[in-house]
Structure 1
Amino acid sequence: MSAVLEKYFVPEPSRFPIYGSAALLLIGAGGAMWLNRVGSGPWLVAIGFATLIYMLFGWFGQVVRESETGKYSQQVDKSFRWSMGWFIFSEVMFFAAFFGVLFYVRVLSVPELADGASAMLWDGFEKKWPSAGPYVEEAFTPMGAWGIPAINTLILLSSGATLTWAHWGLLKGARGQLIKGLVLTVLLGVIFLGLQVYEYVHAYDALNLRLTSGIYGSTFFMLTGFHGMHVTIGATMLAVILARSIKGHFTAERHFAFEAVAWYWHFVDVVWLFLFIVVYWL
């Protein structure tokens, strides 16, 4: 008895990768020109982002249409899962590099600069954290863990629970539960971002904590800022999944797009837990 071979869908050549490459080139070149006060820099950045948004809508819209018309087999689904898994792994390495920077500064660099022969280079520099760093004398107050950071931790953990609840609704065919869970998750993500913006304003106005506040300011805004960018991306993807769910997309058997975004959101939650402990608490 011969085995039945499953067809593997191969899409037609697409113009969207070229649009994406052009968009990134415009954003990078425009950003460099903007920083160097070249007048056309902001315009190039704006055109680049407009091109990028057009590319994302066009390319992902095409993928959605192909999925909804049944062109994707189980083999294609498996390749999507592997691709998303490797993408999240690359994101893990992205944040691991930044956490590595914080570890190097706190555990190795600051003690070395304050002890032994190096101490002669920086008169009065003390081995303590938070530290602005040598020759940075502007006073600032470090961001505490209890307050908005703790509230945001509770919010993100709750969003992970509401997303899981939405997934349960999808698996048992309860579309109302699916939609309600996604609405709550997106809403919690937006609240998180709003509180983070308030936290940044408070840091600049009340704590005098800025990007220029030495190594502590740099690492604080680098880690929390990049995480906030990932929350923004995740909330946007969840909003798209919500719109598709309202339109009747996804079944209990076939819903990889939902799972991919859920994986990403749970990854963002886990990163925030590490960030809360290492950046805010310790």
Structure 2
Amino acid sequence: MSAPHAAAPYYFVPGPSKWPMLAGTSLLVTMIGASGWVNDASWGPAVNIAGVLATILVLYFWFGDAIGESEAGQYNKRIDLSYRWSMSWFIFSEVMFFAAFFGALFYARAISMPWLGDLDHKIIWPDYAAQWGSGGPAGVTDAFTTMTPFWIPTINTALLLLSGVTLTISHHALRAGHRAQTAIWLFATILLGAIFMGFQVYEYMHAYSDLNLKLTSGIYGSTFYMLTGFHGFHVTLGAIMLSVVLYRVLKGHFTADNHFGFEGAAWYWHFVDVVWLGLYVVVYWL
């Protein structure tokens, strides 16, 4: 949003839109393709990719309409407040999403693992040691090496913390009306996010080839890849959001007093940073 708040004294209600229906249809196609893919159907990958591309195309035009409405001066303080509440609830849903995976990790480590290693189960699995990082008591997983915080996870932590600083500097520059500095620091944030993802890809390659750590490596492997993988996906989404914001900054869409498009993306990025700090401690250190 960048148009002056006083431009529209009413609460803007857009006309009928085809985008919600098309978004739902494209997501349905995406999930049908995904279900076929995981069940080794020959048509699964093509249908899944087609659904993903259709979803991206729908979002492009849908968000484009919202940006056009904002630039046309149809939004005011009431719309701004609606966007803020919507983004807040969206981030809350993301908090609950990650809480589920952190909860699964807690349950496995603090409840299931000690339970399987107690005296009542020594008769069934006499050689099982209740130490986190094992493949489980049944011995059905291949041997693997657990992850450590050195050095890629620690470097990635520094990268994300630094990206939070550069994004904050960019925000302050925007509020001060310095558009060039806003763009420079915002680009630096996106670049740091891209470097983070590059290191994570390298870490995954190392884990698979050198440590034999896979998604099928018991509860350790599944929780590791689910937590770090979904976080990496969110970093990618955040970088895309910030890239769109950067494009809008260069186009002159934001003002010092009215720039929730920037702020919403910044909220999301800071949320991703906080999640990584918890993940870094719980997954890599403990």
TM-score past 0.5 threshold: yes
TM superposition score normalised by structure 2: 0.95
2:236 is aligned with what amino acid? T
Q: Which residue of 1 aligns with 2:3?
A: none
Structure 1 distance, partners of 2:26, 2:137, is 40
Q: Deviations over 1:52-98 (max 9, x none)?
A: 01111110000000011110010010011000000000000000110
Instruction: State the Cα distance separating 1:105 from its structure 2 match.
Output: 0.5
Q: Which residue of 1 aligns with 2:266?
A: 262
Structure 2 distance, partners of 1:143, 1:245, is 40
Q: Which residue of 2 aligns with 1:245?
A: 249
Instruction: State the Cα distance separating 1:6 from its structure 2 match.
Output: 3.2
2:243 is aligned with what amino acid? A
Structure 2 distance, partners of 1:86, 1:121, is 47
Structure 2 distance, partners of 1:73, 1:118, is 64
1:139 aligned onto 2:143:
yes
Q: Which residue of 2 aligns with 1:94?
A: 97
1:233 aligned onto 2:243:
no
Name segments (4+ residues, structure 1) moved above 6 Å.
none
Structure 2 distance, partners of 1:215, 1:140, is 12
1:24 aligned onto 2:45:
no
2:170 alignment partner, one of 138, 150, 166: 166
Note the 1:78-117 alignment, pairs <5 A.
78-117=81-120
| More off after superposition, 134-143 vs 156-165 | 134-143
1:207 alignment partner, one of 208, 211, 223: 211
5+ residue gaps in structure 2?
A: 1-7
1:67 alignment partner, one of 63, 67, 70: 70
Q: Deviations over 1:140-185 (max 9, x none)?
A: 1111102000000000000000000000100000001100011000
Q: Which residue of 2 aligns with 1:76?
A: 79
Instruction: State the Cα distance separating 1:123 from its structure 2 match.
Output: 3.2
Q: Which residue of 2 aligns with 1:125?
A: 128
Q: Which residue of 1 aligns with 2:285?
A: 281
1:278 is aligned with what amino acid? V
1:158 is aligned with what amino acid? L
Q: Which residue of 2 aligns with 1:190?
A: 194
Structure 2 distance, partners of 1:93, 1:53, is 25
Instruction: State the Cα distance separating 1:47 from its structure 2 match.
Output: 1.5
Structure 1 distance, partners of 2:72, 2:249, is 16
Structure 2 distance, partners of 1:121, 1:88, is 45
RMSD: 1.1
TM superposition score normalised by structure 1: 0.96
Instruction: State the Cα distance separating 1:37 from its structure 2 match.
Output: 1.8
Structure 2 distance, partners of 1:68, 1:120, is 71
Secondary structure of residue in 1 paired with 2:122: helix
Q: Which residue of 2 aligns with 1:13?
A: 16
How many residues align? The count is 278
5+ residue gaps in structure 1?
A: none
2:171 is aligned with what amino acid? H
Structure 2 distance, partners of 1:147, 1:201, is 15
Structure 1 distance, partners of 2:281, 2:12, is 45
Secondary structure of residue in 2 paired with 1:138: coil
Instruction: State the Cα distance separating 1:40 from its structure 2 match.
Output: 1.4
1:245 is aligned with what amino acid? V
Distance change >3 Å, CA 24–CA 119, structure 1 → 2: farther
Q: Identity of aligned pairs, percent?
A: 55
Secondary structure of residue in 2 paired with 1:120: coil
Using CA pairs under 8 Å that are at least 6 residues apart, name the structure with larger relative contact order, 1 or 2. 2
Q: Deviations over 1:187-206 (max 9, x none)?
A: 00000000000000000111
